[in-house]
A and B are shown apart, each in its own frame.
Chain A
Amino acid sequence: MSLVNYAAREITCKIVYYGPGRSGKTSNLHYVYNQVPGDRRGSMVSLATQTDRTLFFDFLPLDLGSISGFTTRLQLYTVPGQVYYATTRKLVLQGADGVVFVADSQRRQIDENVESMQDLHANLAEQGVDARNVPLVIQYNKQDLPRELTMDVPELDDVLNFRGVPFHAGDALRGTGVFETLRSISELVLRRLSGAAAPRVAVGQ
């Protein structure tokens, strides 16, 4: 996937929301969708099961318009969190420019979070991608739940954020932290343009 096409003056970023089932990835996209003016977003594609879980993936194309003369597009994807959709997860993850890990802050979900984080690393490794080079941001979602049920951010950070990547507390249903997360992953992705890692540049497609 092309990140920057200087010839056509386009920037296209693929950002994948990753995380355990029911952690709120689709809610993140819904919130973004509702905030974006109609002419700037494509239709959100959701392939969901009858019980409203993401079966394949959600896809939300966003047109940020012309930024510094570049037509800038974000493509937001979510993976199905449930363990048994491993193949879909791998497919969706392919070619991602950045990953948002949406963690479920509920105390009883901590194992699922860890498992999903490991799954993310395993899938990246399988695609020959060094996880240390992939822009990653963590969102600790559902911080609005009663304190008795949830772990607080420092606690979660201790368990999940061993790499020390940017993180945000979130309440995706009401939108807290949603744009903060999107902003910080976008900036990480864009920083790679001039970063030490050779930029992936595509020309004249």
Chain B
Amino acid sequence: MSVLLDGRFRFDNYVVGASNRLAVAAARAVAESPGASYNPLFIYSPSGLGKTHLIGAIGFAAKQLQPDLLVEYVPLDDFVDQLHLAISSGQAEAFKQRYQRVDLLLIDDVQFLTGRRETQSEMLRIFNALQGSGRQIIMASDRPPSEIADVDERLVTRLAGGLIVDIGLPEYETRVAILRNKCAEREMSFADGVLEELARMPCGSVRELQGALNRLAAHEALGERAVTPANVRAIVAAGRVTPDVGRAAPVATDEFAGFISDIAVAVAQHVEGWRVRLGQRIAHWQAAGYRTTMLERALAMNEEPDVDALDATFASGVSRLEQLEAQAVLLDPRLAGLDVFRDPQHIPDAEARVEQAIAAQNPPPGPWPAFTLETMIAGKSNQLALRAAEATIEAPGVRYNPLFVHGGPGVGKTHLVHAVGNALRRKAALSGPVACVSGSQFVDELIAALQDGTVDRWRARYRTAGALIVDDVHALAGKERSQDELFHLFNALHSAGKQVVLASDRPPSEIGELEARLRSRFDGGLVVAIQPPDRTLRESLYVRSLQDRAPDAEPGVAALLAELPVSGAAEVESVVDRVLHAARAAGGAVTLSLVRRELGAGGAATPVSSPAVADKSFLDAEKVVMEWPETDGRVIEELR
């Protein structure tokens, strides 16, 4: 804040007399409601009568009343200096903007506008902007606007357009009041009648009066002789004739200052404009806390780049980062001011961070913990799939990516893929949670997200996954938007080396209404089938089930049950259900005869034993050559 506005100059220490009553009244009105009453307010008086005090008081009082008010005090000389500096450093626009933001502009020593054409036109522009938006301008000068020589006509009319008030010489009473005020302020005291005598002396300004008072104070302090009303005139008059001894011999020409001004000219001439502008932008962004590597690189180039375009690109990057940061802060306030939101060159990193935050807030569904590989019984029909699963767990994302498991209902696909998910989850090397979702759930979630307009967040949940498992992927058939999302998700994870495991009741080639780009991607990894269990596996499954549920069953029951083909482990359970139910109805244990009777009754027509779903992958047109060209004349060896 300018020293002028620090409260030394106030209305309550400004002595009001007949000579300045109007000026003070106007000043108070302006301070109380800036921009409303007299705009601009122009105060003039010969020097030393309190113009500066008055405008300082306006600024201070206005600030007291409205602390948010932007008040700026500037002597015209400083204004000119700032303008020159701004123009030479290419910051003219910033200069203009700075002043156009001010609510209350106080300009002192306006008389120095004389002959400064460029300053005048700049000022005119600023005045127009300020007045246009109802902000207050207050000026002080040692003469009225019409007497300031060589000033643009338009500016004169602007200056004179508000209220012009003058401050006259204070009369005797005011002078006494001023002197008493000063004494009180500085805790000085004089013999009775001294101040009055001093006030009676002719004086050209308050400043002169103050000088005289100072002289009296110095005399009193020296203690040579007491100051009395009788010797006031002598002391003060002596002071006026004595040459000022404080001033040294003629000041030597300041070589250094001259040198500096020459250097300034040289710098202004030789520093390349675009680099200056770019440097300014860099300084600006750095001050705002952004990393400016991108702009700095341009700065180091020899060719002049399009600075504005470059800056615009940077600015758009910054605004994107701001968006991302705001989004992230909503999720987690601790993310505010994170480094990743400070480099417009690495926006994807920031995006990834936001996705992480979203995922952390709302992690994707995981695999069901009950399904583990240990509880799966291996047999001939599923050993290939099991081995593939083990290889996948050992090196996720490396060997079989994606792993596509297919097989009829109840063969244990879901068990297998969830088991893979659980095993992957225990791997420390995985970079994110294991997302495990069924096809229909995936579709439902997408629809819900579309409804709430939170697709971005929904997407982000999955993007951060360390591995993705989609069960019953055939549920996506015919759902274009879901396939689209899965496609992008698949690509994002796959290219990041993350494991994708899919399960379906049929191979990719047989899923109808599946986009070719997805199908080919599913085919690109390992497609492995789980067959309905063979007899051995069936027997193992029955043995385990009976052990758990009917430990007293007659030996050989499992082997007998295993004779009947089933589609999978699920059906094994339902057969056991049926047998147990029959045994309870008969009121006895599970015996071979009971089983035989039950099976006979149920027969092959029982709805439980649907025919096994054959693996039809060999029918894939891509894999099977149906028509052999020119078979004539070829010897087909028949093996016997």
Contacts and interface: CB of A to CB of B under 8 A. Distances in A.
A108 interface: no
B272 interface: yes
Interface stretch (B230-238, B261-269, B397-405): B261-269
A192 B260 CA distance: 18
A40 B268 CA distance: 21
Interface in B233-260: 255-256, 258-260
Contacts of B266: 186-187, 190-191
A194 interface: yes
Given A68-B264, A69-B276, A193-B272, A179 B259 contact: yes
Nearest to B90: A69
Contacts of A6: 275-276, 278-279, 282, 299
Closest A-B pairs by Cβ, 4 of them: A69-B89, A6-B279, A193-B270, A190-B266
Contacts of A195: 270
A11 B267 contact: yes
A203 B255 contact: no
Interface string B269-286: 111100110111011001
B270 A183 contact: no
Contact of A182 (B259, B269, B278): B259
Report whether over half of chain A's contact residues are helix, strand or loop; otherwise say mixed.
Answer: mixed
A72 B267 contact: yes
Report whether over half of chain B's contact residues are helix, strand or loop; otherwise say mixed.
Answer: helix
Interface size on A, as a range, is 35 or more
A188 to B, nearest CB: 9
A35 B270 CA distance: 26
Contact of A193 (B263, B271, B279, B302): B271
A7 B279 contact: yes
A128 B416 CA distance: 72
A22 interface: no
Interface in B280-313: 280, 282-283, 286, 292, 296-297, 299-300, 302
Interface string B505-516: 000000000000
B299 A201 contact: yes
Nearest to A7: B282
B263 A183 contact: yes
A69 B91 contact: yes
Contacts of A67: 260, 263-264, 267-268
Given A7-B299, A193-B272, A203-B299, A179 B260 contact: no
A36 interface: yes
Interface of B: 85, 88-91, 255-256, 258-260, 262-264, 266-272, 275-276, 278-280, 282-283, 286, 292, 296-297, 299-300, 302
Nearest to B302: A198
Given A6-B278, A9-B279, A68 B259 contact: no
Contacts of B268: 67-68
A154 interface: no
A146 interface: no
Given A64-B260, A68-B264, A72-B263, A190 B270 contact: yes
Contact of A7 (B88, B271, B292): B292
A183 B271 contact: no
Contacts of A203: 296-297, 299-300
Nearest to A195: B270
A194 B276 contact: no
A13 to B, nearest CB: 10
B296 A204 contact: yes
A179 B263 contact: no
A190 B275 contact: no
Contacts of B89: 68-70
A190 B282 contact: no
Given A68-B267, A183-B259, 8 more contacts: A6-B275, A8-B283, A35-B256, A65-B260, A69-B280, A72-B263, A190-B267, A195-B270
Interface string A121-136: 0000000000000000
